[in-house]
Every structure is written in C-alpha cells, then in structure tokens.
Amino acid sequence: MQLGKFGVWWSGSWRAEDASTDVAAELEDLGYGAIWSSGGFEAGISKTFDRLLASTSQLVVASGIVTVWHSSPEEISAGVADLEVRYPGRFLLGLGTSHSVLVENYAHPYSQMVGFLDGLDASPHGVRSDRRVLAALRPRMLALARDRAAGAHPYFVPASHTARARAILGNGPLLAPEVTVVLERDPAAARDVARSFTTGYLGLPNYAGNLLSIGYEEEDIAGGGSDRLVDDLVCWGDAEVVAKKVREHYEAGADHVCLQVVSGSRSSFPLAEYRELAAAMKGT
C-alpha cells in the first residue's frame, strides 16, 4: 500500500466553501497520496470512507481513527472487507483507544487494543496486519504497532517524538505522524491560531502525559502551550517555511506525514491552503 510522502488529515467537512462535492478528487490531482478522516463514534465503518474512495481513483483513504470502544472487531472487519472488495488495496484501517473523557467505562486501553486486534485476527473477514495501523504514542503501544500492525499513526506530536517512535518501531514499519500546519507568517498571529488548536488537546491526559514523558514541563502544557511547545507541535509560516519544518519529521524517521491545516475557521475544508502546501511539499 503506497501512501506517498504526504497526505491530508481532516476531521471536518470534506467540502470547501460553496462546493457541492467533496474535495478528495482535487487533493488526489494535487499529489496528496492519502487522506485521513475520523472514524467517528458510531458503530461500524463510516460511510465517509466509501464516499471518499468512490470519488478518487488511486490514493489511499485511511481512518484516523476508528475507536476500539464503539464497535466490535466483527463489525469493523466486515466493513473493511466490503471496502476491500470494491476498492482493492486502498483503505487503511487506523485504530485508536481515544480518551477517557470521550468514552464511558474507559479502562485498560492497552488491553482493549490487544483484545480488539485478537478479535480482528479471529474474525471470518479478518483485517490483515499490513492493512492496519495504530494511533500509538507511548513505547508499549508503539511496540504493539510494530508487532501487530503495519506501523504507527501518532497524533499531536513534535519531531522529537517521531525520532523516538522510529527508534522503537525500527526499520520497516510505517511511521505516519499527523503534522499540524498554520499558514501565517506573523509569529503572534500564528501562535494565536495554533493555540486555538492546542488548548483542547493539551487538556486530554493522553496527549499531555505523552509530551511530559518526552521532556516538556508542566509550564509548557499550561495556557494552551508555551511558545516553545507550540512551535514544536505546529509548523507555521508561509508554505515554503512550513515545508522545511515538516522535513524535520522526515529527518526524524517519518515515512509519510498527514498534514492538518488549522485556520481561523473550520466550517469548511481549507482547500486554498492545501493547494499552497501541495506545491511546496513536492520538493520534500
């Protein structure tokens, strides 16, 4: 499964302002090798994946993520099998354990993931290990991604985490971190937009704990993030500067980066920004 060097990560509408159809076909034409979409919180495989696959011809559509708490392995494997029949080799199942504030009876997430993978393996439909990745942050989950999946899809991480993840994964397994982008040159304005994104995520223990474990301090986590942390987590500047910052993840060991544009408005897909990024990223 070829994801290419860079893709799109997006959890909102896949339609640009005033557009009547999804932007997936244009993203494919622009050179993005994969598009990553949230799996939502309903049981089974979201119909969004079918729609995105149907409107494109070659790129990979990946779930970022399907939670292991709201569906059974049998439901997920049946949904993946259906997509595989109609779009062979083009759907990548990203699995994650989500967060305690979003899941009732959240306990023992690592064991939940292991049990879910066991269920996928035992299902009549199955989901091959090379057709699934794990949203892994800490060493134990990264090792599980290495041993029982095609690799890892970390979210909300700096390049230093990418280097740590590669060391744990070793050579071979896929490493596809989400990388947040703000196309804004002015430092104060860029950090303001970035903090509109980082503030919510820093309130989630899984993300905050991961950042503390790789060397950040409590004061870095507070108030939407210190300048140091915001600058490490969010690539900001014009498109050329952003592309240079994204290269730090490649240099740290990433195979594929999933670019998530953050702007002042998230009511529609920021297609203009992704057009700018595509041109700049082709040199990476």
Q: Considering the entire predicted model, what is its pTM?
A: 0.96
Helices 109-122 + 73-86 axis angle, to 10: 50
Name which of 72, 86, 276 is nearest 182 in CA terms: 276
Question: What is 6-281's CATH topology?
Answer: TIM Barrel (3.20.20)
For 11-43, b/e burial (b = at least 16 CB within 10 A) is eeebebeeeeebbbebbbebebbbbbbbbbeee
What pLDDT score does 266 carry? Answer: 65
Percentage above 70 pLDDT, the chain: 99
Sign of the Cα torsion 35, 95, 218, 247 reads negative
pLDDT in tens, 128-179: 999 999 999 999 999 999 999 999 999 999 999 999 999 999 999 999 999 9
Specify the 3-state DSSP secondary structure of 221: helix
What pLDDT score does 40 carry? Answer: 81
pLDDT in tens, 57-95: 999 999 999 999 999 999 999 999 999 999 999 999 999
